A and B are shown apart, each in its own frame.
Chain A
Amino acid sequence: NAGVTQTPKFQVLKTGQSMTLQCAQDMNHNSMYWYRQDPGMGLRLIYYSASEGTTDKGEVPNGYNVSRLNKREFSLRLESAAPSQTSVYFCASSSGTAYGYTFGSGTRLTVV
């Protein structure tokens, strides 16, 4: 069972380039999330989708957009990448509030 699958695993972008990080879950979860992880700062929420058809901003949404394509898929787009967006990005899903999150294995993004 795959759980939460993220692609790509690694990516190097030049400043100003755009890209989309893909995430898919096969657990029939309603809620999906995008976090970024930076040294010494834990995981910070970028955007989340409580259910299919809805998206909301998290703690650090600037410079990002998301799409909840269907119940399984939740993508994160960087329209014009900046060096400050160099980070490890994690997608997660859950059944809802107060239930454990299942995380993907992450995408390590470097913007030069």
Chain B
Amino acid sequence: EAGVAQSPRYKIIEKRQSVAFWCNPISGHATLYWYQQILGQGPKLLIQFQNNGVVDDSQLPKDRFSAERLKGVDSTLKIQPAKLEDSAVYLCASSLNRLNNEQFFGPGTRLTVL
């Protein structure tokens, strides 16, 4: 069984530029999560999708972050414009459904904002 795929693995940008991350969850997983992991901290949930609908985006900085999951499979997370404090690893995870608490994580995208 293929795991959660993410790309790119690394990205370096200047502040005020925009960036996008892509995630392909495990086949058949209805629930998809985006986490932000700042160096030295645990992952923090940014947004949770159930199929193509948003379940929880309470911690997503909506003035600069956006995410979509068209067709209920792949997802993209965008930052526009980026700030220095957005430097972090962005992790994508998926689970069978909202009530299945086992989440499977991708390798993450490490973003550096200069």
**A and B form one complex:** no
**Contact residues of B with A, CB < 8 Å?**
none
**Contact residues of A with B, CB < 8 Å?**
none
